[in-house]
Amino acid sequence: MTDARTALAEATRRLAEAGVASPRNDAELLLAHVLGTGRTGLLLVAALDGAQAAAYEDLVVRRATREPLQHLTASAAFRYRDLVVGPGVFVPRPETESLVEWGLSVIDALEVPHPVVVDLGTGSGAIAGAVASERPHARVHAVELSEAAYAYAERNLAGLDVDLRHGDLADAFGDLDGSVDLVLANPPYIPLAAWESVAVEARDHDPALALWSGEDGLDAMRDVAATSARLLRSGGWVGAEHADVQGESAPAVFVAHGAFEEVRDRTDLAGRPRYTTARRAQRR
Protein backbone atom coordinates (compact mmCIF):
# COMPACT_ATOMS: atom_id res chain seq x y z
CA MET A 1 0.00 0.00 0.00
CA THR A 2 1.10 3.58 -0.73
CA ASP A 3 0.21 6.51 1.49
CA ALA A 4 -2.17 8.71 -0.53
CA ARG A 5 -0.98 12.04 0.86
CA THR A 6 2.65 11.15 0.21
CA ALA A 7 1.82 10.13 -3.36
CA LEU A 8 -0.09 13.37 -3.90
CA ALA A 9 2.72 15.53 -2.53
CA GLU A 10 5.30 13.74 -4.67
CA ALA A 11 3.16 14.08 -7.79
CA THR A 12 2.69 17.79 -7.13
CA ARG A 13 6.45 18.27 -6.78
CA ARG A 14 7.19 16.42 -10.02
CA LEU A 15 4.57 18.28 -12.00
CA ALA A 16 5.85 21.62 -10.70
CA GLU A 17 9.38 20.72 -11.75
CA ALA A 18 8.05 19.78 -15.20
CA GLY A 19 6.60 23.27 -15.65
CA VAL A 20 2.93 22.36 -15.28
CA ALA A 21 1.04 25.56 -14.53
CA SER A 22 -1.22 24.14 -11.81
CA PRO A 23 0.65 21.17 -10.32
CA ARG A 24 -1.42 20.64 -7.16
CA ASN A 25 -4.69 20.98 -9.01
CA ASP A 26 -3.61 18.51 -11.69
CA ALA A 27 -2.17 16.04 -9.19
CA GLU A 28 -5.44 16.02 -7.29
CA LEU A 29 -7.59 15.65 -10.41
CA LEU A 30 -5.49 12.78 -11.69
CA LEU A 31 -5.70 10.98 -8.39
CA ALA A 32 -9.45 11.56 -8.22
CA HIS A 33 -9.72 10.15 -11.74
CA VAL A 34 -7.81 7.00 -10.76
CA LEU A 35 -10.00 6.51 -7.70
CA GLY A 36 -13.27 7.33 -9.45
CA THR A 37 -14.14 10.08 -7.00
CA GLY A 38 -14.34 13.84 -6.82
CA ARG A 39 -11.58 15.99 -5.36
CA THR A 40 -13.39 16.24 -2.04
CA GLY A 41 -13.43 12.45 -1.91
CA LEU A 42 -9.65 12.46 -1.68
CA LEU A 43 -9.95 13.53 1.93
CA LEU A 44 -11.35 10.10 2.74
CA VAL A 45 -8.56 8.14 1.05
CA ALA A 46 -5.69 7.06 3.28
CA ALA A 47 -3.81 4.66 0.99
CA LEU A 48 -3.57 3.42 -2.59
CA ASP A 49 -3.38 -0.23 -3.45
CA GLY A 50 -0.83 -1.52 -5.94
CA ALA A 51 -3.02 -1.12 -9.00
CA GLN A 52 -4.11 2.38 -8.02
CA ALA A 53 -0.55 3.48 -7.32
CA ALA A 54 0.65 2.13 -10.67
CA ALA A 55 -2.18 3.81 -12.58
CA TYR A 56 -1.49 7.11 -10.81
CA GLU A 57 2.22 6.88 -11.54
CA ASP A 58 1.51 6.36 -15.23
CA LEU A 59 -0.73 9.43 -15.42
CA VAL A 60 1.70 11.61 -13.50
CA VAL A 61 4.54 10.61 -15.83
CA ARG A 62 2.42 11.45 -18.86
CA ARG A 63 1.29 14.78 -17.40
CA ALA A 64 4.91 15.65 -16.64
CA THR A 65 5.62 15.34 -20.37
CA ARG A 66 2.89 18.02 -20.76
CA GLU A 67 0.24 15.74 -22.17
CA PRO A 68 -2.98 17.67 -21.50
CA LEU A 69 -4.79 16.87 -18.28
CA GLN A 70 -8.04 16.57 -20.21
CA HIS A 71 -6.56 13.92 -22.52
CA LEU A 72 -5.56 11.87 -19.50
CA THR A 73 -9.01 12.04 -17.94
CA ALA A 74 -10.84 12.06 -21.33
CA SER A 75 -13.01 14.86 -20.01
CA ALA A 76 -13.22 18.65 -20.04
CA ALA A 77 -15.67 20.73 -18.03
CA PHE A 78 -17.38 23.51 -19.97
CA ARG A 79 -20.06 25.52 -18.20
CA TYR A 80 -22.53 22.95 -16.84
CA ARG A 81 -21.46 19.99 -18.95
CA ASP A 82 -18.57 17.51 -19.04
CA LEU A 83 -17.34 16.93 -22.57
CA VAL A 84 -15.53 13.91 -23.96
CA VAL A 85 -12.18 15.05 -25.38
CA GLY A 86 -8.90 13.51 -26.46
CA PRO A 87 -6.34 13.47 -29.26
CA GLY A 88 -7.73 15.07 -32.40
CA VAL A 89 -9.99 17.69 -30.84
CA PHE A 90 -9.31 21.11 -29.35
CA VAL A 91 -9.75 21.12 -25.58
CA PRO A 92 -12.26 23.88 -24.69
CA ARG A 93 -10.92 26.62 -22.43
CA PRO A 94 -12.76 28.46 -19.64
CA GLU A 95 -12.23 31.77 -21.44
CA THR A 96 -14.71 30.71 -24.12
CA GLU A 97 -17.46 30.63 -21.51
CA SER A 98 -17.46 34.45 -21.62
CA LEU A 99 -18.38 34.32 -25.30
CA VAL A 100 -21.18 31.85 -24.56
CA GLU A 101 -22.50 34.04 -21.75
CA TRP A 102 -22.70 36.98 -24.12
CA GLY A 103 -24.43 34.81 -26.74
CA LEU A 104 -27.04 33.67 -24.24
CA SER A 105 -27.77 37.30 -23.36
CA VAL A 106 -28.36 38.01 -27.04
CA ILE A 107 -30.76 35.07 -27.28
CA ASP A 108 -32.64 36.23 -24.19
CA ALA A 109 -33.16 39.67 -25.72
CA LEU A 110 -34.66 38.31 -28.94
CA GLU A 111 -38.42 38.48 -29.31
CA VAL A 112 -38.71 35.35 -31.43
CA PRO A 113 -39.94 31.92 -30.27
CA HIS A 114 -37.08 29.92 -31.77
CA PRO A 115 -33.87 31.90 -32.30
CA VAL A 116 -31.57 30.46 -34.97
CA VAL A 117 -28.00 30.05 -33.73
CA VAL A 118 -24.95 28.83 -35.66
CA ASP A 119 -21.65 27.63 -34.17
CA LEU A 120 -18.88 27.88 -36.77
CA GLY A 121 -16.06 25.39 -36.20
CA THR A 122 -17.66 23.64 -33.25
CA GLY A 123 -14.73 21.32 -32.41
CA SER A 124 -15.85 19.29 -29.40
CA GLY A 125 -19.31 20.82 -29.60
CA ALA A 126 -18.71 22.95 -26.51
CA ILE A 127 -20.44 26.15 -27.67
CA ALA A 128 -23.29 24.46 -29.52
CA GLY A 129 -23.91 22.10 -26.62
CA ALA A 130 -23.97 24.90 -24.07
CA VAL A 131 -26.47 26.91 -26.08
CA ALA A 132 -28.69 23.92 -26.85
CA SER A 133 -28.76 22.71 -23.25
CA GLU A 134 -29.20 26.11 -21.63
CA ARG A 135 -31.60 27.61 -24.18
CA PRO A 136 -33.52 24.59 -25.54
CA HIS A 137 -35.95 26.80 -27.45
CA ALA A 138 -33.13 27.87 -29.77
CA ARG A 139 -32.54 26.11 -33.07
CA VAL A 140 -28.84 25.37 -32.96
CA HIS A 141 -26.69 24.46 -35.96
CA ALA A 142 -22.98 23.55 -35.85
CA VAL A 143 -20.30 22.71 -38.39
CA GLU A 144 -16.87 21.10 -38.06
CA LEU A 145 -14.28 20.36 -40.76
CA SER A 146 -12.01 17.88 -38.96
CA GLU A 147 -13.25 14.30 -39.10
CA ALA A 148 -11.68 13.51 -35.73
CA ALA A 149 -13.21 16.54 -34.02
CA TYR A 150 -16.56 15.88 -35.70
CA ALA A 151 -16.63 12.44 -34.06
CA TYR A 152 -16.17 14.03 -30.64
CA ALA A 153 -18.87 16.59 -31.40
CA GLU A 154 -21.27 13.79 -32.33
CA ARG A 155 -20.73 12.20 -28.92
CA ASN A 156 -20.96 15.44 -26.98
CA LEU A 157 -24.08 16.66 -28.77
CA ALA A 158 -25.93 13.34 -28.65
CA GLY A 159 -29.36 13.82 -27.11
CA LEU A 160 -29.40 17.55 -27.82
CA ASP A 161 -31.38 19.17 -30.60
CA VAL A 162 -28.41 20.31 -32.66
CA ASP A 163 -28.05 20.16 -36.45
CA LEU A 164 -24.42 19.03 -36.71
CA ARG A 165 -22.79 19.06 -40.14
CA HIS A 166 -19.39 18.03 -41.45
CA GLY A 167 -17.87 20.78 -43.56
CA ASP A 168 -15.90 24.01 -43.84
CA LEU A 169 -17.15 27.06 -41.95
CA ALA A 170 -16.22 29.18 -44.97
CA ASP A 171 -19.08 27.84 -47.08
CA ALA A 172 -21.39 26.22 -44.54
CA PHE A 173 -25.16 26.48 -44.21
CA GLY A 174 -26.11 27.95 -47.56
CA ASP A 175 -29.67 26.93 -46.76
CA LEU A 176 -29.68 29.32 -43.80
CA ASP A 177 -28.51 32.45 -45.63
CA GLY A 178 -30.17 35.57 -44.26
CA SER A 179 -32.12 33.75 -41.54
CA VAL A 180 -29.69 33.40 -38.61
CA ASP A 181 -30.09 35.44 -35.42
CA LEU A 182 -26.73 34.68 -33.84
CA VAL A 183 -23.38 33.31 -34.99
CA LEU A 184 -20.79 32.17 -32.44
CA ALA A 185 -17.28 31.02 -33.26
CA ASN A 186 -14.00 30.15 -31.61
CA PRO A 187 -11.85 29.92 -34.74
CA PRO A 188 -8.12 29.20 -34.91
CA TYR A 189 -6.30 32.47 -34.31
CA ILE A 190 -2.61 31.84 -33.63
CA PRO A 191 -0.11 33.33 -36.11
CA LEU A 192 2.29 30.79 -37.59
CA ALA A 193 5.23 32.83 -36.29
CA ALA A 194 4.04 32.46 -32.68
CA TRP A 195 4.86 28.74 -32.50
CA GLU A 196 7.50 29.10 -29.77
CA SER A 197 5.21 31.09 -27.46
CA VAL A 198 2.37 28.55 -27.43
CA ALA A 199 2.01 26.29 -24.39
CA VAL A 200 3.33 22.78 -24.96
CA GLU A 201 -0.06 21.26 -24.12
CA ALA A 202 -1.67 23.12 -27.01
CA ARG A 203 1.23 23.19 -29.47
CA ASP A 204 1.99 19.48 -29.27
CA HIS A 205 -1.44 18.03 -28.60
CA ASP A 206 -4.27 20.24 -29.88
CA PRO A 207 -4.92 19.70 -33.59
CA ALA A 208 -3.11 22.14 -35.88
CA LEU A 209 -6.36 22.91 -37.70
CA ALA A 210 -7.73 24.42 -34.47
CA LEU A 211 -4.65 26.53 -33.70
CA TRP A 212 -2.92 28.14 -36.65
CA SER A 213 -4.47 30.74 -38.93
CA GLY A 214 -2.04 32.32 -41.35
CA GLU A 215 0.70 34.88 -40.91
CA ASP A 216 -1.36 37.25 -38.78
CA GLY A 217 -3.61 34.69 -37.11
CA LEU A 218 -6.72 36.16 -38.68
CA ASP A 219 -7.34 34.09 -41.82
CA ALA A 220 -10.12 32.10 -40.15
CA MET A 221 -11.55 35.27 -38.59
CA ARG A 222 -11.97 36.69 -42.08
CA ASP A 223 -13.89 33.56 -43.04
CA VAL A 224 -16.06 33.93 -39.94
CA ALA A 225 -16.84 37.54 -40.88
CA ALA A 226 -17.69 36.63 -44.48
CA THR A 227 -19.84 33.64 -43.52
CA SER A 228 -21.60 35.61 -40.80
CA ALA A 229 -22.40 38.41 -43.22
CA ARG A 230 -24.06 35.84 -45.47
CA LEU A 231 -25.91 33.95 -42.76
CA LEU A 232 -27.18 36.71 -40.52
CA ARG A 233 -30.47 38.47 -40.96
CA SER A 234 -30.40 42.25 -40.76
CA GLY A 235 -29.72 43.12 -37.13
CA GLY A 236 -28.38 39.66 -36.31
CA TRP A 237 -25.28 39.30 -34.14
CA VAL A 238 -21.93 37.57 -34.35
CA GLY A 239 -19.43 36.91 -31.57
CA ALA A 240 -15.98 35.46 -32.29
CA GLU A 241 -13.17 34.64 -29.89
CA HIS A 242 -9.60 35.79 -30.51
CA ALA A 243 -6.20 35.92 -28.82
CA ASP A 244 -5.71 38.51 -26.10
CA VAL A 245 -3.26 40.39 -28.33
CA GLN A 246 -5.88 40.77 -31.08
CA GLY A 247 -8.14 43.21 -29.28
CA GLU A 248 -7.69 45.72 -32.10
CA SER A 249 -6.89 43.56 -35.12
CA ALA A 250 -9.85 41.18 -34.73
CA PRO A 251 -12.50 43.93 -34.62
CA ALA A 252 -10.75 45.53 -37.59
CA VAL A 253 -11.60 42.41 -39.63
CA PHE A 254 -15.32 43.03 -39.15
CA VAL A 255 -14.99 46.76 -39.77
CA ALA A 256 -13.05 46.14 -42.98
CA HIS A 257 -15.65 43.67 -44.24
CA GLY A 258 -18.20 46.47 -44.41
CA ALA A 259 -21.34 44.46 -43.59
CA PHE A 260 -21.32 45.14 -39.85
CA GLU A 261 -22.08 47.87 -37.39
CA GLU A 262 -21.70 48.18 -33.63
CA VAL A 263 -18.36 46.38 -33.80
CA ARG A 264 -16.98 46.08 -30.30
CA ASP A 265 -14.29 44.13 -28.53
CA ARG A 266 -15.04 42.53 -25.17
CA THR A 267 -12.99 41.11 -22.31
CA ASP A 268 -13.07 37.82 -20.45
CA LEU A 269 -13.43 37.47 -16.68
CA ALA A 270 -9.73 38.22 -16.24
CA GLY A 271 -10.15 41.55 -18.05
CA ARG A 272 -8.22 40.47 -21.15
CA PRO A 273 -9.44 41.21 -24.69
CA ARG A 274 -11.15 37.95 -25.66
CA TYR A 275 -13.88 38.23 -28.29
CA THR A 276 -15.34 40.60 -30.85
CA THR A 277 -19.04 41.21 -31.35
CA ALA A 278 -20.73 42.87 -34.30
CA ARG A 279 -24.21 43.41 -35.69
CA ARG A 280 -25.25 42.73 -39.25
CA ALA A 281 -26.12 46.04 -40.85
CA GLN A 282 -29.16 46.55 -43.04
CA ARG A 283 -28.56 44.83 -46.36
CA ARG A 284 -28.34 47.18 -49.30
Sign of the C-alpha dihedral computed for residues 115, 277, 160 and 36 taken in this order:
negative
Residue 210 above 80 pLDDT? no
Between the two ends of the chain, the Cα-to-Cα distance in Å is 74
CA distances 15 to 7, 25, 131, 249, Å, are 12, 10, 35, 36
Q: Report the range of poorest mean pLDDT among 48-52, 78-82, 174-178.
A: 48-52
Most confident of 53-57, 67-71, 173-177, 208-212: 173-177
Higher-pLDDT residue of 202 and 157 is 157
Most confident of 164-168, 184-188, 280-284: 164-168
For the chain, list the domains and their CATH numbers.
2-65 (1.10.8.10), 78-84+87-280 (3.40.50.150)
Would you state the pLDDT for residue 217? 78
Would you state the pLDDT for residue 181? 98
pLDDT digits (tens, 9 = 90+) for 110-142: 989 999 999 999 999 999 999 999 999 999 999
Q: How confident is the model at residue 26 (pLDDT cuts 50, 70, 90)?
A: very high
What mean pLDDT is reported for the chain?
A: 91
pTM, to two decimals:
0.89
Nearest to 188 by CA among 224, 229, 238, 162: 224
CA 21 to chain centre: 19
Q: How confident is the model at residue 175 (pLDDT cuts 50, 70, 90)?
A: very high
Distance of alpha carbon 116 from alpha carbon 139, whole angstroms: 5
Would you state the pLDDT for residue 39? 85
Q: How confident is the model at residue 208 (pLDDT cuts 50, 70, 90)?
A: low
Residue 194 above 60 pLDDT? no
pLDDT digits (tens, 9 = 90+) for 218-275: 989 999 999 999 999 999 999 999 988 888 999 999 999 999 999 999 999 889 999 9
Question: Are residues 76 and 91 in contact, defined by beta-carbon separation less than 8 angstroms?
Answer: yes
Q: Report, as an integer, the average pLDDT of 84-113.
A: 95
Side chain identity, residue 24: R
Residue 28 above 70 pLDDT? yes
Would you state the pLDDT for residue 113? 95
